[in-house]
Amino acid sequence: MERELPHSCSVCGLVPLAPGLRRHDRVIAESPAMQELLKRTSRFAPSDAPVAILGETGTGKEVVARTLHANSLRAGKPFVAVNVAALPAELLESELFGHGKGAFTGAAGPRRGLFEEASGGTLFLDEIGEMALPLQAKLLRALQDGEVRRVGENRSFAVDSRIVCATHRDPAERVRQGLFREDLYFRLKVLTLHVPPLRERREDVLPLARQFLGEERRHLEGFSPEAEKKLLSHPWPGNVRELQNAVRHGAALASGPLVTLEDLPEELHRGAADARPSLAGPDLRCLADVEREHILRVLDACGGSQTEAARILGIGRNTLWRKLRGYSGDDRHAS
């Protein structure tokens, strides 16, 4: 298979194309804050030490993790990503460490874990803040010893996978709450990268929006001046992912060569005041109504993805599904 030669950035020396990303998924970094982050990423890349990537949801933590890997000496080896929050603890343990034959009902044969799959490469543990405490102890042991033991087996064997983890939570706060082991925290946070929220790097907004528009199947020339103005002034609580969804929305609705303000999602082209029920007096709605509104807003910002919305809301997918089903008269979300 023909491999495209990566071009490195003249400012930071990084290769902006990461493996596994499509041709257009270049890392946009026009803002000083992102330039600084990429420089730091390039300094961390050659090391084998763990890296913790912190930042609000949708800021681009996985993009940074892939860039780190693509610029490391491990670039030719696998980048294996696992979302810690998506699996129950027991399943996650056997996913990470593998299992022996007959380790549990249904384990017909032995299976390699993701630590082994990522050997020589990078193991990306996304949403590490959600990892159950017993598994944290096992992860710590694997990091300290450089060895893993498959579930249901006695022997350990060496693995050489670089650990990169990410969380949208404040890990120090998780430690204070007793939800994250302090010793593991110290081990993981030696090299830390903070991905800034989009509202703190306005210079990236339009380049990102244009790149996302270019990825759409429909050929559109760009955004109207009013749409650009709105994209620049919106606070983007869902960060780059929310911007990406807004651009998709705009591209789907555009009737001319440009995406106009009216084509963007409702919460953008309405005035901020209209987005709230009534700011004239105190908001005295009951909790269920506020919850419903928030859930539907997050779901919209996630382009309708219930998995994504559940993760951002910090609830299980089933819980979200049940709640949506309860919102009678709104079949759109309950299906």
- The residues binding ligand ATP (CB under 6 A) are 25, 27-29, 55, 57-63, 168, 208, 240-241, 244
The whole-angstrom separation of Cα 286 and Cα 16 is: 48
Q: How far is the CB of 43 from Mg ion (least distance, A)?
A: 22
Would you say 116 or 126 has its CB closer to ligand ATP?
126
CA distances to 181, 182, 225, 264, 280 from 309, rounded to whole Å, are 27, 29, 31, 20, 30
**CB-count exposure of residue 281 (10 Å: 0-12, 13-18, 19+):** exposed
Closer CB to ligand ATP, 114 or 166, in the complex: 166
Partner whose binding site includes residue 63, from Mg ion, ligand ATP, none (CB under 5 to 8 Å by kind)? ligand ATP
Alpha-carbon gap, residue 323 to 150, rounded angstroms? 38
Residue bearing tokens 């990406």: 244
Residue 69 near residue 122, CB atoms below 8 Å: yes
In the complex with Mg ion, the residue whose CB is nearer, 25 or 160, is 25
Tell me how crowded residue 172 is: count the other CB atoms within 10 A of its CB: 12
Q: What minimum distance in Å lies between the beta carbon of 69 and ligand ATP?
A: 13
Please, which residues bridge with residue 167 across strands?
54
- Smallest separation, CB 126 to ligand ATP (Å): 6
Span interacting with Mg ion, options 87-95, 121-129, 145-153, 203-211, rule CB under 5 A: 121-129
Contacting range for Mg ion; rule: CB under 5 A; set: 18-26, 120-128, 186-194, 203-211 = 120-128
Residue whose beta carbon is closest to ligand ATP: 60
Kindly tell me which of 16 and 100 has the beta carbon lying closer to ligand ATP: 16
Contact 65, 59 (CB under 8 A): no
Instruction: Tokens 């780059």: give the residue.
Output: 240
**240, interface contact from Mg ion, ligand ATP, none, CB < 5-8 Å by kind:** ligand ATP
Q: How many residues bind Mg ion (CB under 5 A)?
A: 2
CB of 60 to ligand ATP, least distance (A): 3
Q: What is the DSSP letter of 39?
A: H
| Cross-strand bridge partners of residue 82 | 125
Q: Which helix (H) or strand (E) holds 281?
A: none
**Residues from 124 through 183 that contact Mg ion (CB under 5 A):** 126
Q: Indicate the residue type of 150.
A: R
3-state DSSP helix/strand/coil percent for the chain, to nearest 5? 45, 10, 40
- With CB under 5 A as the contact rule, which of the stretches 64-72, 118-126, 144-152, 324-332 interacts with Mg ion? 118-126
Partner touching 324 among ligand ATP, Mg ion, none, CB below 5 to 8 Å by kind: none
Question: What stretch of H or E contains 54?
Answer: strand 51-54
Encoded tokens for 66: 């892939």
**Which of 57/260 has CB closer to ligand ATP?**
57
Based on the shown chain and the rule CB under 5 A, indicate whether residue 116 belongs to the binding site for Mg ion. no
Which of the residues 28 through 67 are near Mg ion (CB under 5 A)?
62
How many Å apart are CA 126 and CA 291, to the nearest integer? Answer: 27
CB of 65 to ligand ATP, least distance (A): 8
Q: How far is the CB of 124 from ligand ATP (least distance, A)?
A: 10
Distance in Å, CB of 157 to Mg ion, minimum: 30
Query: Which chain residues interact with Mg ion by CB under 5 A?
Result: 62, 126
